[in-house]
């Protein structure tokens, strides 16, 4: 007995048109590329972009942590006084200050 008429043909995964074979897409750079080759190229480019973005975000967060540690650690250290240069004081300024004291 023969197979029923409505039995579907097996289709390989990724084949859009099972009876036509691989359909070439328009030429890129030089020569014809199949859809699978183009998909492979775009997958690699996309994977690279996603990895680069993820690594850059991790580096940015680490940079923020380093900055915060650098700014917060001195708050927990004891204060260290430093000597400043003396400010030049003119006689005119001193006479103005003396008039306010009276």
Token digits of residue 73: 């650690």
Q: Are the C-beta atoms of 4 and 26 separated by less than 8 Å? A: no
- CB within 8 A of 41, min separation 6: which ones? 33
Share of the chain above pLDDT 70, in %: 54
Q: Which pLDDT does position 73 carry in this prediction?
A: 95
Token digits of residue 55: 């690594």
What number of residues does the chain have? 102
| Alpha carbon distance 93, 60 (integer Å) | 51
| Alpha carbon distance 81, 68 (integer Å) | 23
The tens digit of pLDDT for each residue in 3-56 reads: 556 666 655 555 555 555 555 445 445 556 788 889 999 999 999 999 999 999
């Amino acid at each position: 007995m023969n197979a029923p008429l409505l039995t579907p043909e097996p289709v390989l995964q990724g084949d859009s048109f099972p009876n036509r074979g691989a359909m070439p897409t328009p030429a890129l750079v030089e020569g014809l590329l199949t859809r699978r080759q183009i998909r492979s190229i775009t997958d690699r480019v996309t994977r690279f972009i996603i990895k680069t973005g993820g690594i850059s975000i991790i580096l940015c967060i680490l940079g923020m942590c380093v900055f915060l540690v650098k700014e917060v650690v001195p708050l927990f250290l004891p204060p260290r006084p430093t000597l400043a240069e003396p400010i030049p004081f003119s006689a005119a300024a001193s006479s103005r200050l003396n008039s306010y004291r009276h």
